[in-house]
Chains A and B, each alone.
Chain A
Amino acid sequence: MTTTVESDQLLVERVQKGDKRAFDLLVIKYQSKVLSLIGRYVSDVHEAMDVAQEAFIKAYKALANFRGESAFYTWLYRIAVNTAKNHLISRGRRPPGTDIDVDEVHADGGMSELSHIDSPEASLHKEQVEQTLSKALEALPDDLRTALMLREFDGLSYEDIAQVMDCPVGTVRSRIFRAREAIDKQLEPILESTVNC
């Protein structure tokens, strides 16, 4: 089984071999964190989008030299922070004095200050998503729900879950996938109006 870093590293290696599809996966996986991070410097959502795009493009161009000595997300977040700072400077604005701890952002999901996040519509949407998730989780068969919860909330690896549930690793993988598939059916109508990626 692979770890967090190894999984990203597999994608990075595919990108380094010229596979842009692998970069699409990395963009979607990290866009939320990157936008949160940039949101600490740039509050306007359109401006933040431009900076995030620039940061990902810079990362892609620099990826040939990425050796995996640090985690991909740490490397990416540093590029995002520097791009946001340079963006402010280029517009005659001063970046905040204190630097952001990129590892902290990865751990806590980031506290964004993007303007659209604070809107009543966004809060309502967040509430809707959480309620749907909660209901969908409750409706799952026991074996699927247990496997998913052990993974998501207890952070267990597939191998550890297999031991806890006394089943093969392949079964754990399949159960977690089927749990997500079932939740996705409930979630898709709510997200499809907003998720465009």
Chain B
Amino acid sequence: MSDKIAESLSALLDNEATELDVRRLTKTMTDEDLDTWARMCAMKQGLHKENVSHQSINILDGIRAGIADEEIVAQPKPAASGWKNWLGGAGVAAAVALAVVGIGVQNNDFGSEAGGQLVTNDQPVATEKSEPAADVGETRLAAGDMSPEQYKALQDKLRSYMQQHAENSPDDLVGDVMPYARVVSFEVEQAKQAEK
């Protein structure tokens, strides 16, 4: 064993090792050096009147076998500050705000009819299954909770709305967001007309 390695181990024991020490140790250290490290640890314990017996128990082989197939993939640390962070934060905030507005609009359009496509558990719509408590507040499509017949009926309904709307919309708006907004308000309009 080289003196450099032993000196680095000694510094490591005193928590005085540098990054260079640690790199040197992990790159060139042998099992014999690990024995020296174990004895240094035992020496420290002995000087402080602690039990040295625990140091004599070999658990390292079992641990090595246990992690032999494990590969650590460290998660990248978030950067401390900077304009990129600010932009990222602003982007997330904007996306959340957009999602909240979007969900609000869709709930207003669909919330009035039972069996609507988009449901939130905060405002439950009658479905065949009850919602698990852990999902409270989660927003998701409810198609999976419907029977195939109900789902097909809803699809047919939506298709007929789209067809009716496409016939009435100007060509330059096809593919834009407006046709869809008008589609989703179609039934509300129908209900108003029926009331009149």
Contacts and interface: CB of A to CB of B under 8 A. Distances in A.
B16 A195 contact: no
Given A24-B34, A27-B60, A184-B43, A173 B7 contact: yes
Interface string B107-149: 0000000000000000000000000000000000000000000
Contacts, number: 197
Interface size range of chain B in the complex: 35 or more
A36 B49 CA distance: 14
Contacts of B53: 116-117, 122, 125-126, 194
B59 A27 contact: yes
Per DSSP, are chain B's interface residues mostly helix, strand or loop, or mixed? helix
Nearest to B38: A197
Interface string B35-69: 11111111111111111111111111011101100
A191 B75 contact: no
Interface size class of A (residues with CB under 8 A): 35 or more
B6 A56 contact: no
B196 interface: no
Contacts of A181: 6
A75 interface: no
Contacts of A157: 16
A71 B18 CA distance: 18
A49 B62 contact: yes
A151 B44 CA distance: 11
B54 A32 contact: yes
A31 B59 contact: yes
A94 interface: no
Interface of A: 1-4, 6-8, 10-11, 14-25, 27-29, 31-33, 35-36, 45, 49-50, 52-54, 56-57, 60-61, 63-65, 67, 109-110, 112, 114, 116-117, 122, 125-126, 129-130, 133, 137, 151-153, 157-158, 173-174, 176-177, 180-181, 183-184, 187-188, 191, 194-197
Interface of B: 3, 6-7, 10-19, 22-23, 25-27, 29, 34-60, 62-64, 66-67, 70-75, 77
